Amino acid sequence: MKNTPNHRAARQRAPPVIRSVAMMKSCALGAVAVCTLLLPARIHAAGPAGCRQMIPDATDAVTAAPQNHKVILENDTVRVLEATVPLHSREVPHTHFWPSVFFEQTSPRSEPWKTVTIRWSKGGPSKGFPSSDRDRHNLLIELKKTDCQPAALADLPPTDAVKIHDPNMTVVLENDYVRVLSVRVPPGEKEPWHTHTWPAVVVYFHLPPSQRLSPDGKKTPRAELKELQVTYDPNSQPLHSVENLGTETYQAYRVELKPTTTVAVAANAR
């Protein structure tokens, strides 16, 4: 995993087929349950034909329900929202214009992000809640390029984080647009040497003290992290490892963004 924080910051193909661990097999990954949620998408197009034409309007979640949706990172590729609906509070109807990787807190409000589920959401209209039946706390990694056709993928190197077959680096969700990795490092242990090819949004809910190791012997320390942090990693990562210097498990999620073309997905496939 990249260990440097960065706060707040073409051929025709068949319609994308969503694949997740939950669809392929049932599994448990520490405190993480993996499932999928496919919701009807609503897309507003503007301008000339092509992709990157999903344009939010006044019903967008951030505009229509700002008290429930906070932008914590945004660029030309992604928007990351922290969404909260306290118990018995109201959330007005709104729309999620972009599909997202959806993290849902399943632990009590007093233990933020201790346990989560991770799923894929196609977005679309949401009815909101007249009075929420529970405390809701979610993180949405919205993808702005999902109206572009996925690109053909080149083979990943043998040092890829998944290809090294380390049991602590696992795919918890994958489709034509993303691959989501769960990265765990037990106390006192190190990751195997590995690389990352695709850009990514990296999610940390909390971290013990750690250090990033480079093959040249360089060690980059990182202090304990006690609250949610989301970073955007636009570059591939060369060979590296992370060592856990703490007494708790190091847990991070890397939402890797697969390449896309500049060809629009057919309207009836969205």
- Cα radius of gyration rounded to whole Å, the chain: 19
Q: pLDDT 10s digit of each residue in the chain, 270 long? A: 544 444 444 334 434 333 333 333 334 344 444 433 333 334 444 434 578 778 899 999 999 999 999 999 999 999 999 999 999 999 999 999 999 999 999 999 999 999 999 999 999 999 999 999 999 999 999 999 999 999 999 999 999 999 999 999 999 999 999 999 999 999 999 999 999 999 999 999 999 999 999 999 999 999 999 999 999 999 999 999 999 999 999 999 999 999 999 999 986 665
Domain ends where: 117, 147, 177?
147
Domain ends where: 147, 182, 217?
147
- Within 13 A of 209's CA, how many CA atoms are on the CB side? 6
Would 268 be classed as within a structural domain? no
> Are 115 and 223 within one domain?
no
Backbone angles phi, psi at 73, to 5 degrees: -165, 140
> Are 139 and 175 within one domain?
no
Would 121 be classed as within a structural domain? yes
pTM recorded for the entire structure: 0.82
Identify the domain containing residue 62 by its residue range: 19-147
CA 198 to CA 180: how far, in whole Å? 11
> Are 134 and 198 within one domain?
no
Q: Name the domain count of the chain.
A: 2
CATH of the domain at 194: 2.60.120.10
Would 68 be classed as within a structural domain? yes
Would 152 be classed as within a structural domain? no
> Are 143 and 28 within one domain?
yes
What is the tens place of the pLDDT at every residue in 56-88? Answer: 999 999 999 999 999 999 999 999 999 999 999
Would 243 be classed as within a structural domain? yes
> Are 177 and 131 within one domain?
no
The closest alpha carbon to 204, from 68, 28, 2, belongs to 2
> Can you read off the two tokens belonging to residue 17?
């087929």
> Are 211 and 242 within one domain?
yes
Backbone angles phi, psi at 268, to 5 degrees: -75, -5
> Are 25 and 138 within one domain?
yes
> Are 97 and 35 within one domain?
yes
Strand partners, 252: 183
CATH of the domain at 84: 2.60.120
